[in-house]
Structure 1
């Protein structure tokens, strides 16, 4: 079974996929050792580790280098968060998707939000992009590569439910394997979307929306926690580094 087949199989099982979000090799190896069945990179976490904010401000070569290092050193499937594709032109985005596939990932997240202005791509524009990505992947031997189409409707539209369902259906028809809806937290709306979209739905963990068993009952197939773990680790480092300076005592490094 190829890594792509293994990743797709996870999304068709009876169990929800709890995706471990990594931002460097150490975090990826730690998640794999803990027992996660798949890893998703976090663009926020990767950018932050190099001192950049999220939003495609980090150089794509550097970003891809982190993804490559992870795929070369873990045995479980990896899905790469490439934001909106790191390019303005469709040809550049497709090239970046193929280069990402070439480093050994099983799938990608690609979003419909614009990076140099507010708003979303039109449904027609994004569907055309997804169709072109799918055709390019198939042509280069990456059949069934997992395209997780992220829609930012819950971040950028006032009445997102209907818009989300319409976009999700169109994205699936255009070649998306699954739909990622960050910002979606209402249980009734989650159920509405999972019942009306014929593809695995990925939810982003947030306070009050954390339990895989509850989300499974709502029809959710995948839960990810984005940059929450990397933020937690950075907060730990900040706090303890400050304590070392303040106390002028390293004893805290040896406490359980």
Structure 2
């Protein structure tokens, strides 16, 4: 079974897929070692690890090199977070998607947020992009490549539920394999969306939205924690480095 088929199959079981979000090779290897079945890169975490803010501030080649290092060294499927595609025109975005597929990932996250200004890409334009993306991937031998269409309606619109439902249905019709809705936390809305959308729904961990068993009962098929783990690691590093400077004593580093 190919990595792409394996990754698709993980969305079709009774169990919710808990994706391990990695930001470098060490984090990816650790997540694989402790039992995660698939890895999703986190653009926020990768940006932080290189001293940048999130939002396509890194050169795409540099971003892709980190994803490739992960893909080359783990034996589980990897989904690449490529934000809005790292391009201002369709051709550049499609080229970047194909380059990402070529390094061996099983899927991508592609979002409908604009990067140079606030707001979402026009829905029809985004649907056209997804259609072209699916056609291109099929033509290059990447049939069933997992396109996880992220919509930022809950971050950027005043009536997110209605807009989410409309966009999610349109994105699936345009070739998306799954729909990623960060910011959605209301249980009734989650249940309505998972019932109405004929594709796996991916949610992101937030305060108040943390339990896989509960989400599985609501019909969610995939759950990720984004930059939460990398932020926790950075906070831990900062806390311990501060203690070293303040106490000038390394003994606590050896306490168990």
1:36-74 superposed Cα distances (whole Å, 9 cap, x missing partner): 000000000000000000000011011000000000000
DSSP 3-state at the match of 1:143: coil
DSSP 3-state at the match of 2:166: helix
- Structure 1 residue 23 corresponds to structure 2 residue 23: yes
| Distance of 2:246 and 2:231 partners within structure 1 | 22
| Distance of 1:155 and 1:207 partners within structure 2 | 15
| Distance of 1:168 and 1:159 partners within structure 2 | 14
TM-score relative to the length of structure 1: 1.00
| Distance of 2:138 and 2:88 partners within structure 1 | 23
DSSP 3-state at the match of 1:147: strand
| Distance of 2:251 and 2:105 partners within structure 1 | 42
| Distance of 2:127 and 2:27 partners within structure 1 | 34
CA RMSD of aligned residues (A): 0.4
1:82-133 superposed Cα distances (whole Å, 9 cap, x missing partner): 0000000000000000000011100000000000001101110000000000
Q: How does 1:206-225 map onto structure 2 within 5 Å?
A: 206-225=206-225
Alignment correspondent of 2:204: 204
| Distance of 1:36 and 1:46 partners within structure 2 | 19
Alignment correspondent of 1:81: 81
| Distance of 2:234 and 2:19 partners within structure 1 | 20
- In the TM superposition, residue 208 of structure 1 has moved relative to its aligned partner by 1.2
1:136-166 superposed Cα distances (whole Å, 9 cap, x missing partner): 1001100000000000000000011011011
TM-score relative to the length of structure 2: 1.00
| Distance of 1:103 and 1:156 partners within structure 2 | 32
1:175-209 superposed Cα distances (whole Å, 9 cap, x missing partner): 00000000000000001100110000000001111
DSSP 3-state at the match of 2:130: helix
| Distance of 2:206 and 2:120 partners within structure 1 | 22
